[in-house]
A and B are shown apart, each in its own frame.
Chain A
Amino acid sequence: MAENVKPRVRVPRSATAGEAFEIKTLISHIMESGQRKDGDGNTIPRSIINHFSCDFNGENVIQATLEGSISTNPYFQFDAVISESGTFTFTWNDDDGSVYTDSKDITVG
């Protein structure tokens, strides 16, 4: 079980319809690759975030599958364009079955 996992998201509070804005997400996670060995020579089991997705009002915006070589604290930055107010939901899936979520409201003004 990964410890100290905490998602962080930055989405502007408001946006103009049809204009791109930036979304940043970061989750603190050890991202243990499964390739390393501990002091006794035993393999340290893989423990990573294996999937990330972002939805807007139930519609998928972006998905990413993460593999064992992604560095610790995975960071995603992407642009989005929306035409109506709504809620972004962000989901991270952990190898251990945990699901971490965060959501942000945005208003189109």
Chain B
Amino acid sequence: MKKMTLTAAFAGTVAIFAGATSAGSDPATILSIDDVSISTRAPAPDFLDIDEVISGWVFRTSETQALQMDDFDNPGMLFVDQAIDDWNTVEGSEGQSCASCHTAGPEEFAGLRAELPRWNEEQGSLYNMEDYINLMRVDYMGAEPLKWAKPRMDAMVALLSLPSRGMAMNVAIDGPVADIWEQGRELYYTRVGQLDMSCANCHEDNYGNMIRADHLSQGQSNGFPAYRLKNAKLNSIQARFKGCMENIRAEPFAVGGEEFRALELYVASRGNGLSSEAPSVRN
């Protein structure tokens, strides 16, 4: 010990309790990760009544924010590491891994996350990251599709989202997806469940306010899949929808089902202009 002096500060990564209002320092306002600046505020898209769209990161405490500002501290990156292993793993009847064809690595998908979900002309349906992953697995690798909202899938979505970090969300809402988008909008404003609440009651009418111990955000999806301190894993946006619906004591729609797909599209379009942050850190 004679050569060194040290101070040790250690804690389990999820043992950092971020009291919603008791934060030691004021929440930060500028997010930049590895010199990539992330827009956490943007003018709202025309179809919204609010003036400004705000990333969920802004609503978190300084401690939670700090976790996302450094990739080493971001526990979501652990899952990205796992997905890199998966990326290189040969699976299925064709003897292929992701890396066999995508030799440039996940960086090839820079910009993709910011446009999803989008219409896939060839398949004739709305596609999000999960769909693309399973399309490749089934059609090109001859492997089993991954289950939605499960660790392997969420990690892979995070890996493929990472190259788009910092790029502005730009989800198309017209053309072939117009009807689906309209269905999503309808769902967003429809009150459901025993508490008779819609998404808008919290995330449009009351963002910034407290709902008991929680600081309500705008419910933006630009940071998903998000690492949540409450369950110490990556959470897909549709799993989050399910959680929200359970909170208002509604019967959740199926993850991967038609309703959540429409809602995912609509919610993503509400965040147009914000930077993609995936994988983000939330409480």
Contact A73 B3 (CB under 8 A): no
Cβ-defined partner of B10 (8 Å) among A6, A64, A82: A64
Across-interface contacts of B1 in A (CB, < 8 A): 59-60
Cβ-defined partner of A6 (8 Å) among B5, B6, B7, B82: B82
Contact A4 B13 (CB under 8 A): no
Contact A72 B6 (CB under 8 A): no
Contact A73 B14 (CB under 8 A): yes
Contact B4 A76 (CB under 8 A): no
Across-interface contacts of A10 in B (CB, < 8 A): 72
Known: A6-B82, A8-B81, A82-B3. A72 touches B232 (CB 8 A): yes
Interface size on B, residues (CB 8 A): 21
Taking CB atoms and an 8 Å cut-off, the chain B residues in 11-57 that contact chain A are: 11-15
> Is A62's beta carbon under 8 Å from chain B?
yes
Contact mask B43-82 → A, CB, 8 Å, 1/0? 0000000000000000000000000000011010010011
Q: Please measure, in the bound complex, the distance between the C-alpha atom of A71 and the C-alpha atom of B232, giving whole angstroms.
A: 9
- In the complex, how many angstroms separate the beta carbon of B159 from the nearest chain A beta carbon? 14
Question: Which of the four size classes fits the interface of chain A?
Answer: 20 to 34
Contact A78 B82 (CB under 8 A): no
User: In this complex, what residue of B is CB-closest to A56?
Assistant: B4
Contact B4 A6 (CB under 8 A): no
Q: Please measure, in the bound complex, the distance between the C-alpha atom of A1 and the C-alpha atom of B72, giving whole angstroms.
A: 25
Taking CB atoms and an 8 Å cut-off, the chain A residues in 30-49 that contact chain B are: 31
Cβ-defined partner of A78 (8 Å) among B10, B72, B232: B10
- In the complex, how many angstroms separate the beta carbon of A31 from the nearest chain B beta carbon? 7
How many A-B residue pairs lie within 8 Å, measured between CB atoms?
80
Contact A61 B4 (CB under 8 A): yes
> Is B101's beta carbon under 8 Å from chain A?
no
Contact B78 A73 (CB under 8 A): yes
Cβ-defined partner of B78 (8 Å) among A28, A31, A70: A28
Known: A4-B82, A6-B81. A26 touches B13 (CB 8 A): yes
- In the complex, how many angstroms separate the beta carbon of B80 from the nearest chain A beta carbon? 11
Cβ-defined partner of A73 (8 Å) among B4, B8, B10, B12: B12
- In the complex, how many angstroms separate the beta carbon of B8 from the nearest chain A beta carbon? 4
Taking CB atoms and an 8 Å cut-off, the chain B residues in 69-97 that contact chain A are: 72-73, 75, 78, 81-82
> Is B9's beta carbon under 8 Å from chain A?
yes
Contact A74 B13 (CB under 8 A): yes
Known: A4-B82, A24-B73, A26-B78. A72 touches B8 (CB 8 A): no
Q: Can you identify 10 A-B contacts, CB atoms within 8 angstroms?
A: A4-B82, A8-B78, A28-B81, A31-B12, A56-B3, A73-B12, A74-B12, A76-B8, A78-B10, A79-B6
Q: A71-B14, A73-B232, A74-B13 are in contact. List 5 more A-B contacts (CB 8 A).
A: A8-B78, A59-B1, A61-B4, A78-B6, A78-B10
Q: Which residues of A contact B (CB under 8 A)?
A: 4, 6, 8, 10, 20, 24, 26, 28, 31, 56, 59-62, 64, 70-84
